Chains A and B, each alone.
Chain A
């Protein structure tokens, strides 16, 4: 097998590498360069140094700092809720209950709906509930915030649940059994035996939800589009609006995107390091 791979590795690596270079490396390098330029379209860029970065953080920069902490709060809360809920569901649905597969399927289904559609759908639902009270989803930014949190929970919990279920099913029964014989309660078994064994799944799931929370765009766009007054704008939408919505601010939008990228990469690496530290193997 090794000889086989040694001989044919380019066949396996090159297509992906090429796609990665074209789809990621090249645009990333170009974006990095453009963040130091003044431009309307990619072909007419003029180098301007750090000007864009100063503009991105300036008062007139379109609420970048507000979006930053708003997004951070959102990412943290959505990571917590999605994982707690997803794991609870996984624990429930690995027991022998009737219709287990139906429940699993139903919980996973929301994940198959696209973000834009989801946002519209929930906008109608939320407004349907709020309108009789004289409110809308955009009355203030917190309605949008909690709304988004709920949507993301609904959409992603099922996905994380599937990962947790597969994680749970790899834990040997003997371990729980042995703990039970030793006199551990159900809670103790979960906390001291099964949870540590789940660490790899937790790493994956928190990584996915945390980065998803930071990168969230579609649902934000279609649920509130930043209303009112741009205060429910998450980072990705803020960058989009700066880039596309303000003539002459394309560079500042690009600079924001670079800052955004650094933040997300930094947080993701930190999170991976923290959660991986306690991983154990059976």
Chain B
């Protein structure tokens, strides 16, 4: 009896132990990285039916907006070729964390992304030289390749544009009001006009039928990138432009007054009081915009799918440049660039590397791949293989093209040279405190100017 008892207990313990191991194997990050990412493994089960070439692709995707489409595309590729493709998408604003923990694993991502020269600094040891692959050969311009010491370590795959997305229908309603500051949305060509319009809409919000001119400037840490990074790009861009440089080890903050002016405009003419933005998210802003509670929403082309899903029509959407009152801004266009560079993991196995490159080449040359990238994901790509029939044609992309046609200069994405995430976080925190009234603008200036020098030094001394 005792013997039986002992055997039963021991068996139970071993079972529990195996469960522990299985559990340790399965989830990513465990309890310290809660709800970080959603994993979709397409092929875990059908390994036996695969050809024995052995290579597989594991893509750690940066863009949650396109997670579903990537998963679908992966499935198509696997049915076509039998090569397993796993797509995993990091949750908003957690890409670096997720990448870091995924890289520790035996099955590490074979394909991942860096956000530009600064991101490359962290991961350069993991980046394979892509020279000679179709990815590089097919690039329309060399500026879309991320180079270091003559090697191409990353290739941009999505050119994106952001600005002030506006509700055409609502802005036209406003324009039709007696005494409106402008007669058509196109009349907004500088900061002064934008300010006059926004303040007038805010004053006459009942007549326009909105709660505010701007959507809430959500500064929850999941969403503050719209302001600490994208909006901050404008003063950086103008300073670089004035100094004729592409990168700086110490910015002066010459255009910070413009940054302040536009931030003031955003927070004081919005759907909620400035003291409340600490609890608001980008999702809140999108909902307000879709419900017609606000006219302007600062975001970019990647938001298109979300806006359509929320019930908006193409005709309701337009995009204006973000003006900050800098000299020469009448010729300023939208902010266009890329912070999405594909990198192939050099430390992956030979078979996996060639499988990954083959997958990428398929993505940019096959009909299914091009259709998915251009139409389903709505990317404007920098590859020559994407002809007329594979251009994204949503109104936000069109706005970008229109401004180019008008001869406006696109604002480049200077924010990819921001020295560190810490710089962004500190600027974001100071912006929030300024908005809440618990901090002053001096703190933003300090975080912006002094923080830049400090972070640049810290990032480059090592």
Q: Are A11 and B275 in contact (CB under 8 A)?
A: no
Q: Note all chain B residues with C-beta closer than 8 A to A244.
A: 96-97, 100
Q: Are A247 and B122 in contact (CB under 8 A)?
A: yes
Partner of B14 from the list A15, A131, A225 (CB cut-off 8 Å) is A15
A140 at the binding interface (Cβ < 8 Å): yes
Identify the closest chain B residue to A115 (Cβ): B34
Closest beta carbon of chain A to B395's beta carbon, Å: 34
Partner of B10 from the list A11, A123, A222 (CB cut-off 8 Å) is A11
Closest beta carbon of chain B to A249's beta carbon, Å: 8
CA distance A151 to B31 in the complex (A): 19
* Chain B window 1-26, contacts with chain A (Cβ cutoff 8 Å), 1 for yes, 0 for no: 01000100110011011001000100
Binds A, one of B63-71, B378-386, B409-417, B424-432: B424-432
Q: Are B10 and A228 in contact (CB under 8 A)?
A: no
Closest beta carbon of chain B to A167's beta carbon, Å: 28
Q: Are A225 and B221 in contact (CB under 8 A)?
A: yes
CA distance A86 to B410 in the complex (A): 62
Q: Note all chain B residues with C-beta closer than 8 A to A218.
A: 31, 34
Number of interface residues of B (CB under 8 A): 46
Q: Note all chain A residues with C-beta closer than 8 A to B34.
A: 114-116, 218, 221-222
Q: Are A41 and B276 in contact (CB under 8 A)?
A: no
Q: Are A116 and B35 in contact (CB under 8 A)?
A: yes
A136 at the binding interface (Cβ < 8 Å): yes
* Chain B window 424-456, contacts with chain A (Cβ cutoff 8 Å), 1 for yes, 0 for no: 011001101100101100000000000000100
Q: Are B13 and A245 in contact (CB under 8 A)?
A: no
* Chain B window 275-287, contacts with chain A (Cβ cutoff 8 Å), 1 for yes, 0 for no: 1101100000000
Closest beta carbon of chain B to A12's beta carbon, Å: 7
Known: A19-B20, A116-B35, A247-B122. A137 touches B6 (CB 8 A): no
B142 at the binding interface (Cβ < 8 Å): no
B192 at the binding interface (Cβ < 8 Å): no
Closest beta carbon of chain A to B347's beta carbon, Å: 8
Q: Are A248 and B438 in contact (CB under 8 A)?
A: no
Q: Note all chain B residues with C-beta closer than 8 A to A12.
A: 9-10, 13
Q: Note all chain A residues with C-beta closer than 8 A to B17.
A: 15, 18-19
Partner of B279 from the list A127, A217, A248 (CB cut-off 8 Å) is A127
Q: Are A41 and B104 in contact (CB under 8 A)?
A: yes
Closest beta carbon of chain B to A151's beta carbon, Å: 16
A100 at the binding interface (Cβ < 8 Å): no
Identify the closest chain A residue to B94 (Cβ): A244
**Contact size range, A:** 35 or more
Q: Are A136 and B6 in contact (CB under 8 A)?
A: no
Known: A4-B6, A244-B97. A229 touches B429 (CB 8 A): yes
Task: Give residues of chain B (118-139) contacting chain A, Cβ–Cβ below 8 Å.
Answer: 121-123, 125
Q: Are A42 and B104 in contact (CB under 8 A)?
A: yes
Closest beta carbon of chain B to A159's beta carbon, Å: 17
Q: Are A229 and B275 in contact (CB under 8 A)?
A: no
Q: Are B6 and A139 in contact (CB under 8 A)?
A: no
CA distance A19 to B17 in the complex (A): 7
Q: Are A228 and B9 in contact (CB under 8 A)?
A: no
Closest beta carbon of chain A to B127's beta carbon, Å: 13
Q: Note all chain A residues with C-beta closer than 8 A to B16.
A: 15
B308 at the binding interface (Cβ < 8 Å): no
CA distance A225 to B224 in the complex (A): 13
CA distance A222 to B432 in the complex (A): 18
Q: Are A227 and B103 in contact (CB under 8 A)?
A: no
A246 at the binding interface (Cβ < 8 Å): yes
Known: A38-B462, A116-B34, A139-B438. A134 touches B275 (CB 8 A): yes
Q: Are B6 and A11 in contact (CB under 8 A)?
A: yes
Q: Note all chain B residues with C-beta closer than 8 A to A225.
A: 220-221
Q: Are B104 and A227 in contact (CB under 8 A)?
A: no
Q: Note all chain A residues with C-beta closer than 8 A to B430.
A: 229
CA distance A19 to B275 in the complex (A): 49
Could you pull out 7 A-B pairs where Cβ atoms are within 8 angstroms? A38-B462, A134-B276, A218-B34, A225-B221, A229-B432, A248-B458, A248-B459
Give A contacts to B, CB under 8 Å: 4, 8, 11-12, 15-16, 18-19, 23, 38, 40-44, 60, 62, 114-116, 123, 127, 131, 134-140, 217-218, 221-222, 225-230, 240, 244-248
The 7 closest A-B pairs by CB, nearest first: A229-B429, A136-B279, A138-B278, A244-B97, A11-B10, A136-B278, A127-B279
Known pairs A228-B278, A228-B432; list 9 more (Cβ under 8 Å). A12-B10, A12-B13, A16-B13, A18-B17, A139-B275, A139-B278, A228-B433, A228-B438, A229-B426
